[in-house]
Amino acid sequence: MQDKIEINGVTYIREEPIDESKYVIVRCRGAGVHAGYLHTRNSEVLVLKNSRRLWRWWSKFTLSGLATEGVLAGKENECRFACVLPVLDLTVSDVCEVIYCSEKARRSIKGITEFTNE
């Protein structure tokens, strides 16, 4: 059950803290590749919090390399990662792979500046 408080007619609901150890890369069939905090997963939906779509990345060859080592040194400016989405629902039937990231990889991915096409 969630904690609620009402102040001046506005109800606030306390959010659960994000578990830093659940930072993942999710590869999908149609929705691309996303990195974020795994919030929940059931038979229909996988929910990520504070996630980013990864358009282009440089790593030690695969997403597994990105999840363990992070972005290849010297290639940070060539990565294309989107803005942070507070919540993202992915259909489980579209999800191919969920890879848990190391602390080093999480810091590396989060350190990439949001790509804008300007």
Condensed to tens digits (0 to 9), the pLDDT of residues 22-42 reads 999 999 999 999 999 999 999
Better pLDDT: 4 or 110: 110
CA 12 vs CA 9, 18, 49, 54, 62: distances in Å: 10, 18, 19, 32, 42
CA–CA dist 99, 3 (Å, integer): 32
Q: Is the CATH number of domain 17-110 2.40.50.100? A: no
- Tokens 């150890």 locate to 21
pLDDT range class, residue 1, cuts 50, 70, 90: very low
Alpha-helical segments (H) within the chain: 63-69, 103-110
CA 27 vs CA 17, 30, 55: distances in Å: 25, 9, 11
